[in-house]
Structure 1
């Protein structure tokens, strides 16, 4: 199966997701969180650095559960970032 290239928006959201998870992890090690979430530490490292911009839903759900984050909170944070990066529409700026 051929995977389509990621859009700039998907890449940006991946970076924002990674930053959010990294911040929520705090002082905990990648190894600790990854093992509890059932992932390899390398997979979590790639998500946190934005190298995996579109991780599977189940992966994010597992990490969120370990970090005590709700999926709604993650979605809201990513949605806010998307809104703040959206250029102002000339139609709506009048």
Structure 2
């Protein structure tokens, strides 16, 4: 499977997501947080740094649970923080050529 390159907006949302998770982690270590969520510390490090801009939903759900965050709160914060990002959304419905 070939992955399409991320749009600038997706990259910015990834950076925002990482910042939200990092703030929520507070003084907890990456190791403790990752192990509690069932993900590798390297995965959490990459998400927090924005290097993994589109992590899998179960990963974010597990991290949210461990950090005491709601998925709605994460989504609202990421969207609020990335409003000024470049256009180019890929989540718009495709239109068929009829």
Cα RMSD of the aligned pairs, angstroms, is: 1.2
Which runs of structure 2 are paired with 1:1-94 in the superposition (5 Å)? 1-83=1-83, 85=84
Runs of 4+ in 1 over 2 A off after TM superposition: none
* Greater helix share, structure number: 1
Deviation, 1:52, is: 0.2
Q: Is the 8 Å Cα contact of residues 9 and 85 (structure 2) preserved in structure 1? A: no
* Unaligned ranges ≥5, structure 2: 87-98
Deviation string 1:60-84 (CA, Å, 9 cap, x unpaired) is 000000000000100110121233x
Larger relative contact order (CA 8 Å, sep ≥ 6): 2
Deviation string 1:29-63 (CA, Å, 9 cap, x unpaired) is 00000000000000000000000000001100000
Aligned residue-pair number? 86
* Unaligned ranges ≥5, structure 1: 88-94
* TM-score, normalised with respect to structure 1: 0.88
